[in-house]
Amino acid sequence: MANSKYAYVREFELPDPLLPGTFMLFRLDGHSFHRFSDKHGFTKPNDVRALQLMDHAAKDVMTEYPDIVLAFGESDEFSFLLRKSTTLYNRRESKIVSTLTSLFTSCYVFHWAKYFPDLPLQYPPSFDGRIVLYPSDKHIRDYFAWRQADTHINNLYNTTFWALVQQGGQTTTEAHATLRGTYSKEKHEILFSRFGINYNQLDARFRKGSVLFREEITPDLEKPSPPGFTETQTSDDAKESLSTTAEKGLESEEPINEVSQKLEAEEAKIAKKAKKKGKLPQTKIELVHCDIIKDEFWNARPAILGE
């Protein structure tokens, strides 16, 4: 039963390297998430737990893959930017697309119970992913602008739509009819005049989406344990930190805030350990909900697009 006579079938495996010197933009989307959110009773128009779970999975992916320098999430999709010079998996397309989609999915299911402690996952959700190559900085800026503008447009529509339904008593058909052809300004007006909602004061997470990026840790900044949803690591520690975090996470049944504190303590320990080694620049992954269309964000972080 020698294997060698069949091994020729490997010759059908064709190479699929992605063009060097270009940014890889990896985007994933939930598969049939309309149904998934219905089955799990997600809050309309935004379910903060579901969004936090997405962010958590995205952060785990970034932690595992240091060549991801930026990520942006909204609803059931997340975009990841890999640096132009990355040689991850020799830039093999299927390998990268499948591995990143798989890890994100795994983290999503793995962390589910932390964000929905009372609601068991009803069935295994899935995502699809793809890589798009962009040659220049401008394309990357425009890509993320495209996604964040999309976030705004969708969220303004959905917020107004569900206000009309949930507070205004309209049917969904009526609400769609009310909004047909309206401009942004008119939706703001409906929200404010009918429901007393100042759109611009809603949670920035809903209006701006989630932005994850790496920040170098300078010794001074490090002493006070970093606030919020951040993680400190060197790339050497990436693998370790992911699994350690995971272990801790699994054992706990605490509410989300306490989980967060525990994660932070964990991260501080990792940061400390990494610092001792002192080899690589220490970075932490920051989660913010800010504008990434204008120049400010990018000018303050030249490392994202630079080499």
Q: Which of 174, 186, 216, 247 binds a copy of itself (CB under 8 A)?
A: 247
- Residue 86 or 105 having the CB closest to a copy of itself: 105
229 backbone dihedrals φ, ψ, rounded to 5°: -90, 80
DSSP state of 55: H
Comparing C-alpha atoms, which of 288, 271, 196, 278 is closest to residue 233?
271
135 touching a copy of itself, by CB under 8 A = yes
Contact present, 270 and 264 (Cβ < 8 Å): no
Q: Which of 47, 48, 131, 170 binds a copy of itself (CB under 8 A)?
A: 131
Work out how close the CB of 46 gets to a copy of itself at its nearest, in angstroms, rounded to a whole number. Answer: 19
Q: Which amino acid is at 72?
A: F
Chain positions 211 to 240 lying near a copy of itself, rule: CB under 8 A, are: none
Question: What is the pattern of x (binds a copy of itself, CB under 8 A) and - over residues 4-43?
Answer: --xxxxxxxxxx-x-xxxx-----x--x-------x----
Count of residues of this chain found to bind a copy of itself when the rule CB under 8 A is applied: 75
Chain positions 179 to 198 lying near a copy of itself, rule: CB under 8 A, are: 184
Who's near 165: CB < 8 A, 6+ residues apart?
44, 171, 172, 175
> How far is residue 149's CA from residue 5's CA, in Å, rounded to a whole number?
56
Angle formed by the axes of helices 256-277 and 238-251, nearest 10°:
150
Q: Which of 34, 44, 130, 194 binds a copy of itself (CB under 8 A)?
A: 130
> How far is residue 76's CA from residue 30's CA, in Å, rounded to a whole number?
5
Chain positions 60 to 119 lying near a copy of itself, rule: CB under 8 A, are: 60, 84, 93-95, 97-99, 101-111
300 touching a copy of itself, by CB under 8 A = no
Chain positions 151 to 180 lying near a copy of itself, rule: CB under 8 A, are: 152-153
199 touching a copy of itself, by CB under 8 A = no
Work out how close the CB of 85 gets to a copy of itself at its nearest, in angstroms, rounded to a whole number. Answer: 11
Which ranges constitute the DSSP H helices of the chain? Answer: 33-39, 48-64, 93-115, 137-162, 172-179, 184-195, 204-208, 219-222, 238-251, 256-277, 295-299
Q: Which of 48, 116, 133, 286 binds a copy of itself (CB under 8 A)?
A: 133
Please enumerate, by residue number, every residue annotated as part of a binding site. 29-34, 75-76
